């Protein structure tokens, strides 16, 4: 791009404003533990899959969802349940372990945010 064209674009008055938001780590409540899960919300810049991943609350998730410069996704994260899978009489898995469920949640959104599994290495985070 020529310098003259650049100056024209800048004079045009378009200014990109970086959205302001805070990262947020969930704090599960007793009612969340009774339900057995929480929803977790994540955002990452659209143009760089190696950019940092941010965990945000629902309010910031909604705000960033309409921003074309960010990819957002949410997952259902199990926080209570069995640490080992439970099998039926035929050897089939009847109930997945908490870690398996959380791994599947991460895998279900890997097309949105590819490196989310690196951001969430502890599949038992918040488990009680």
Closest listed residue to residue 65, CA positions, set 57, 73, 76: 73
Q: In angstroms, what CA-CA distances link 22 with 19, 25, 52, 55, 58?
A: 10, 10, 13, 9, 11
The pLDDT tens digits along the chain (128 residues) read: 567 666 665 665 555 677 788 899 999 999 999 999 999 999 999 888 899 999 999 999 999 998 888 999 999 999 998 888 777 777 777 778 899 999 999 999 999 999 999 999 999 999 98
Q: Residue 7: what are its φ and ψ, rounded to 5°?
A: -65, -35
All residues at 6 or more sequence positions from 100 whose CB lies less than 8 Å from its CB, including other chains: 85
Q: Which two tokens stand for residue 75?
A: 């997952």
As given in the structure block, the two tokens for residue 60 are 């910031």
């Amino acid at each position: 791009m020529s310098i003259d064209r650049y100056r024209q674009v800048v004079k045009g008055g378009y200014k990109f404003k970086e959205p302001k938001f805070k990262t947020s780590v969930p704090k599960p409540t007793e009612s969340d533990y009774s339900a057995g899960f929480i929803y977790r919300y994540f955002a990452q810049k659209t143009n760089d899959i190696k950019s940092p991943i941010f965990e945000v609350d629902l309010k910031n998730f909604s705000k960033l969802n309409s921003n074309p410069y960010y990819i957002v996704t949410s997952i259902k994260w199990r926080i209570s349940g069995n640490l080992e899978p439970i099998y039926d009489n035929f050897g089939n898995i009847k109930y997945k372990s908490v870690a398996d469920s959380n791994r599947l949640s991460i895998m279900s959104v890997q097309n949105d945010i590819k490196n989310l599994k690196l951001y969430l290495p502890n599949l038992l985070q918040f488990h009680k």
